[in-house]
Amino acid sequence: MSSTRNLFLVLIFSAIATGISAHNITDILKDHPEYSQFNSYLTQTKLADEINSRTTITVLALNNGAMSALVGKNPLSVIKNELRLHVLLDYYDGQKLHQISKGTTLTTTLYQTTGNAPGNSGFVNITDLQGGKVGFGAAAAGSKLDSSYSKSVKQIPYNISVLEISSPIIVPGILAAPAPSASDVNITALLEKAGCKTFASLLVSSGVVKTYESAIADGLTVFAPSDEAFKAEGVPDLSKLSNADVVALLEYHAASGYNPVGTLKTTKKPISTLATRGPGKFDLTVTTAGDEVTLHTGVASSRVADTVLDSTPLAIFTVDNVLLPTELFGKAPSPAPAGEPVTSPSPAPTIASPTPAPASVEAPSPLAASPPAPPTGTPAEAPADGPSDGPAGSENSTADNAAVHVNAPALLAALVTVICSALLS
């Protein structure tokens, strides 16, 4: 009985922990040298991560000949948008292509999810033509159905289907779009517009914006706390920090490397930040639940809220909470609600309350063993039961939203406990 139980535990736990899908588009295409260009661009643009983080999708692969028409002299950001148009957010295999109701449909693509697709340029028109031919074209008015289905490459029902089409689906608007060069991007202006004025002004006053700018060329991912985040309970008084600590805190809000959301979702190792000076220092861990991505500092966690910019090599996101590194703030900047076992080494797998977990329940980081700098706020200042994870808690409290604020290991343990007792009772 107990070994059965253990087996269940292991199976269920690994199913949950693995989380995202089992497919790997790079690996699927690796065995087909005729798509090597297409595959290489999926990797360079990190669209491969985005594809791997989704299910129920169809990838319209282009062979090396067709790919050369797309690549031309276009910059990577333009190629990326074009390739996004070749990832359909629905599952089509050869059979389904021939069974489209009324013979024609518009299907949503990854390009639509960027929020930057004008008109219906984020959609692809699939039409079952006479003679068994299936045509593909941009949905934009006046576009031709000048690409067609060639053959099936690989199907993993109903997670991913890879089909070859004869030529690229071109939206003239995308190819004509001037590629914003990363050096043209005004980070502070973008942040101000996205509701992160406090963060933007701190970057400027501390000079850290220069560090950000010089890191862009090698890839940069910014996690910008919203203005509300700085007003939340438990945020240390920054005016009481030394200049060096403010700099480290701000550098901690940017990861080295370009990590669009699909990459964050598939990231399993801790990611280093611009504050990282040695292995395991000032890093962030990432967890994903459905479409929600959560960053964990070791002190507390924060939801990744919105994408402000996703343009290779720079990604900018807003986050709900100020990210407090353990190196500066120890385990718990805001005191635990009365009775909360702050120092408990293992998260208690209680299922009692799916309410947002207080920051102090975060799994302790091994780094916290070194004496943490005391937070500026004193324990008495924090309310006994105020949500310490920022304004997000007050927003759309759907089950999904609530779940991502709960300490992930505790949530998993709780789920496993519930499922196992249901199965075994």
Of 5, 30, 151, 231, the residue at the interface with ligand NAG (CB under 6 A) is 30
Q: Which positions from 244 to 283 touch ligand NAG by CB under 6 A, shown as an x/- string?
A: ----------------------x-----------------
Consecutive H or E run containing 422: helix 408-424
Of residues 332 and 406, the one with the C-beta less far from ligand NAG: 406
Interior angle at CA 20, CA 17 and CA 25, nearest 5: 135
Cβ proximity to ligand NAG, 24 vs 148, nearer residue: 24
- Considering the rule CB under 6 A, would residue 214 count as an interface residue with ligand NAG? no
Sign of CA dihedral 39, 41, 44, 50: negative
Q: Which of the stretches 25-33, 71-79, 227-235, 344-352 binds ligand NAG when contact is defined by CB under 6 A? A: 25-33
How deeply is 423 buried, as exposed, middle or buried, from its count of CB atoms within 10 A (0-12, 13-18, 19+)? Answer: exposed
List strands edge to edge, sheet with 292-296. 254-256, 220-225, 314-319, 301-311, 292-296, 283-289, 271-272
Regarding 107 and contact with ligand NAG (CB under 6 A), the answer is no
**Binding status of residue 175 toward ligand NAG by CB under 6 A:** no
Secondary structure letter of residue 218 according to DSSP = G
* Number of residues written out for the chain: 425
Dihedral sign computed on CA atoms, order 275, 276, 280, 286 = positive
Residue 109 interacts with ligand NAG (CB under 6 A): yes or no: no
Q: 127 or 365, CB closer to ligand NAG?
A: 127
Out of 22, 217, 369, 418, name the contact with ligand NAG by CB under 6 A: 22
Interaction with ligand NAG in 126-165: which residues (CB under 6 A)? Answer: 127, 145, 156, 159
Binding mask 53-72 for ligand NAG (x = CB under 6 A): --x-----------------
* Among positions 12, 24, 108, 349, the unique one binding ligand NAG when judged by CB under 6 A: 24
- 249 three-class SS: helix
Whole-angstrom distance, CA of residue 388 vs CA of residue 379: 13
- As a whole number of angstroms, the longest Cα–Cα distance in the chain is 77
Which residues of the chain form contacts with ligand NAG (CB under 6 A)? 21-22, 24, 26-27, 30, 55, 104-106, 125, 127, 145, 156, 159, 186, 188-189, 192, 266, 395-396
